[in-house]
């Protein structure tokens, strides 16, 4: 959903005449990557097995490592609790769940899981080893940097494959670690220490926003969450490593400077609302007031699949590629039931379109419950439905075989109620695009295109176009078909969905 929304935003700005740069931020200094590297080192740094996607293979190592580390942690907690207590019962229940998860993972690769279990169990405190890896990476320890960079590079290869399948490209791939190695994060920390808002919070460097957030006008300018007290931003841990938001301050400065940006949009999940508010306040506190007011957090909710509780930490998830493959299989079935044979290209275009449509058909503030049946409904509210409608318009124009004779169009034939309804809907496109841009809400455009397709198809099924005997009326009907063709194509372009001239 993140990438699809980001591509939608990029395109809606571009069609409005803005120059847009797409950047992908790689959080390679976080605990997740350190946990993955820890597990990879315990396996002896093997090559990615042939025939396996690197991102999926490393994702499996991450899930197993996390689960084993948590098992050791819970076992230690149980030992320290001693006698019977409510906490002990809760911890034993947690251990049972973790052991069940490990058994699930072991059924997928017994050798790998057993090796990780044996090797990680040799460490008295795996968490400390992981934290040490994080610290060594941040200070630029060459041996550690080499391993982290190899793992990150391999994982990004798999991610890029999926993004390309979705028709999404990035102009710049930014590694969080590069911000630290460049010295920019250190500059941010130096600025913070000189700031009037600098403080020590629980013994570590921080920025206190109490004074800033008491200013109602500033809260409005920085779009801070209403009635929410923003806590101090801790800049550095006691071990000297920096935190995510600290590095994000440096990243925000770089984005504005590199591209001379008038607006920076961070497409990040709703759970990061507080961190993004701290980021804007921090920029303002450090003197980057213009940048703070021009940094937009474009938040979104989760995507759920019926009957599946997903967790990357436990290896329970359905990948985008799996969803696309399943959609492609279902496209073939649906079309076959209608007596239509589709090739691999058409199948992929419809599958990718169906996926993107589902990501954009609801406002970003709403949770999406992914429904495979609805995603491929050829009769309403889906990308295949819009693609099918577009193909219908292409079919009419192709059969006509020549250009519209504009001088012959009888515009008085718009008095017909169904034609007038279609003409009025088409006339709203510019307004809808303007509103979609103003609100940055793809649901507005999706709703409009669905209604347009409904009106066109009802008209198409009720009135002949090419067999119309009155030439002036025929040219008007062709005009309506032609404009519908253009509007659907342009609307789908903004959504990042390809059209099909034949289905």
Q: Which CATH number belongs to the domain containing residue 412 in this structure?
A: 1.10.730.10
Whether residue 410 is found in the same domain as residue 368: yes
CA–CA separation, 349 and 355 (whole Å): 10
84 pLDDT higher than 70: no
Whether residue 367 is found in the same domain as residue 250: no
Q: Do the Cβ atoms of 34 and 8 come closer than 8 Å?
A: no
Between the alpha carbon of residue 333 and those of residues 14, 206, 379, 389, the distances in Å are 37, 58, 15, 19
CA–CA separation, 503 and 350 (whole Å): 10
Whether residue 351 is found in the same domain as residue 484: yes
Q: For residue 335, give the nearest of 323, 321, 349 by alpha carbon.
A: 349
Whether residue 117 is found in the same domain as residue 140: yes
Whether residue 251 is found in the same domain as residue 333: no
Q: For residue 503, give the nearest of 364, 376, 414, 366 by alpha carbon.
A: 376
Lowest-confidence segment of 165-169, 376-380, 417-421 by average pLDDT: 376-380
CA angle 360, 27, 249 (to 5 degrees): 95
Q: Is residue 334 part of a domain?
A: yes
Whether residue 345 is found in the same domain as residue 478: yes
Q: Is residue 397 part of a domain?
A: yes
Whether residue 243 is found in the same domain as residue 369: no
CA–CA separation, 153 and 173 (whole Å): 11
DSSP code string of 158-220: HHHHHHHHTT---SEEEEHHHHHHTTHHHHHHHHHHHSTTEEEETTEEEE--HHHHT-HHHHH
Whether residue 186 is found in the same domain as residue 239: yes
Q: Which residues pair with 270 in a beta bridge?
A: none
Whether residue 459 is found in the same domain as residue 333: yes
**Beta-carbon count within 10 A of 216 CB:** 9
Q: What are the pLDDT digits (tens) for 130-186?
A: 999 999 999 999 999 999 999 999 999 999 999 999 999 999 999 999 999 999 999
Amino acid 306: pLDDT? 80
Residues of the domain holding 296: 2-22+174-303
Contacts of 307 (CB under 8 A, 6+ apart): none
CA–CA separation, 99 and 270 (whole Å): 31
Whether residue 44 is found in the same domain as residue 102: yes
Whether residue 359 is found in the same domain as residue 412: yes
273 pLDDT higher than 70: yes
Q: Is residue 315 part of a domain?
A: no
Q: Is residue 78 part of a domain?
A: yes
pTM of this prediction? Answer: 0.92
CA–CA separation, 442 and 298 (whole Å): 12
Q: In sequence order, what E strands does 268-413 have?
A: 295-298, 303-304, 368-369
Q: Is residue 503 part of a domain?
A: no
Indicate the number of domains in the chain: 3
Amino acid 83: pLDDT? 65
**Beta-carbon count within 10 A of 103 CB:** 10
- Which residue, of 129, 148, 169, is where some domain finishes? 169
Q: What are the pLDDT digits (tens) for 223-269?
A: 999 888 999 999 999 888 899 999 999 999 999 999 999 999 999 99
Q: What are the pLDDT digits (tens) for 426-481?
A: 999 999 999 999 999 999 999 999 999 999 999 999 999 999 999 999 999 999 99
15 pLDDT higher than 70: yes
Whether residue 471 is found in the same domain as residue 446: yes
CA–CA separation, 333 and 482 (whole Å): 31
- Which residue, of 169, 190, 213, is where some domain finishes? 169
Between the alpha carbon of residue 177 and those of residues 245, 283, 331, 345, the distances in Å are 13, 20, 42, 39
Q: Which 3 state secondary structure label does DSSP give 297?
A: strand
Q: Is residue 395 part of a domain?
A: yes
Q: Is residue 473 part of a domain?
A: yes
CA angle 265, 266, 271 (to 5 degrees): 140
Q: Is residue 308 part of a domain?
A: no
- Which residue, of 122, 148, 169, is where some domain finishes? 169
Where residue 205 sits, what CATH number does that domain have? 3.40.50.620
């Amino acid at each position: 959903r993140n990438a699809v929304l980001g591509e939608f935003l990029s395109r809606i700005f571009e069609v409005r005449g803005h120059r847009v740069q797409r950047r992908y931020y790689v959080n390679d200094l976080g605990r997740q990557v350190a946990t993955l590297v820890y597990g990879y080192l315990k396996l002896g740094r093997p090559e990615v097995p042939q025939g396996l996607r690197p991102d999926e293979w490393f994702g499996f190592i991450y899930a197993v490592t996390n689960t084993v580390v948590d098992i050791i942690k819970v076992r230690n907690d149980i030992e320290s609790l001693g006698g019977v207590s409510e906490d002990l019962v809760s911890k034993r229940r947690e251990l049972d769940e973790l052991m069940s998860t490990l058994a699930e993972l072991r059924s997928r690769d017994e050798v790998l899981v057993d090796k990780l279990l044996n090797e990680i169990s040799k460490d008295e405190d795996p968490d400390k080893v992981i934290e040490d890896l994080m610290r060594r990476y941040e200070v630029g320890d060459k041996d550690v940097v080499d391993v982290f960079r190899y793992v990150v590079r391999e994982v990004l290869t798999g991610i890029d494959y999926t993004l390309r399948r979705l028709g999404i490209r990035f102009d710049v791939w930014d590694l969080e670690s590069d911000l630290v190695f460049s010295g920019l994060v250190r500059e941010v920390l130096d600025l913070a220490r000189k700031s009037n808002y600098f403080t020590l919070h629980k013994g570590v460097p921080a920025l206190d926003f109490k004074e800033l957030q008491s200013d109602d006008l500033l809260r409005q300018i920085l779009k801070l969450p209403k009635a929410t007290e923003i806590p101090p931003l801790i800049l550095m841990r006691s071990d000297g490593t920096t935190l995510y938001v600290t590095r994000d301050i440096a990243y925000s400065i770089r984005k504005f400077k590199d591209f001379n940006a008038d607006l920076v949009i961070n497409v990040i999940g709703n759970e990061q609302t507080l961190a993004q508010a701290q980021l804007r306040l921090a920029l303002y506190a450090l003197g980057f007031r213009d940048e703070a007011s021009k940094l937009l957090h474009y938040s979104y909710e989760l995507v759920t699949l019926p009957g599946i509780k997903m967790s990357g930490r436990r290896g329970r998830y359905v990948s985008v590629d799996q969803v696309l493959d399943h959609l492609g299989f279902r496209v073939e079935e649906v079309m076959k039931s209608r007596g239509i044979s589709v090739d691999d290209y058409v199948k992929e275009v419809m599958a990718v379109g169906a996926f993107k449509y589902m990501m954009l058909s609801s406002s970003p503030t709403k949770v999406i419950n992914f429904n495979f049946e609805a995603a491929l409904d050829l009769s309403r509210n889906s990308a295949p439905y819009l693609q099918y409608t577009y193909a219908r318009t292409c079919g009419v124009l192709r059969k006509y075989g020549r250009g519209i004779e504009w001088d012959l169009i009888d515009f008085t034939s718009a008095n017909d109620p169904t034609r007038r309804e279609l003409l009025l809907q088409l006339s709203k496109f510019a307004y809808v695009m303007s509103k979609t841009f103003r609100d940055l809400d793809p649901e507005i455009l999706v709703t409009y295109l669905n209604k347009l397709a409904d009106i066109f198809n009802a008209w198409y099924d009720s009135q002949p176009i090419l067999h119309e005997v009155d030439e002036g009326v025929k040219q008007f009907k062709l005009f309506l078909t032609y404009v519908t063709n253009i509007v659907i194509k342009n609307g789908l372009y903004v959504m990042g969905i390809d059209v099909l001239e034949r289905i």
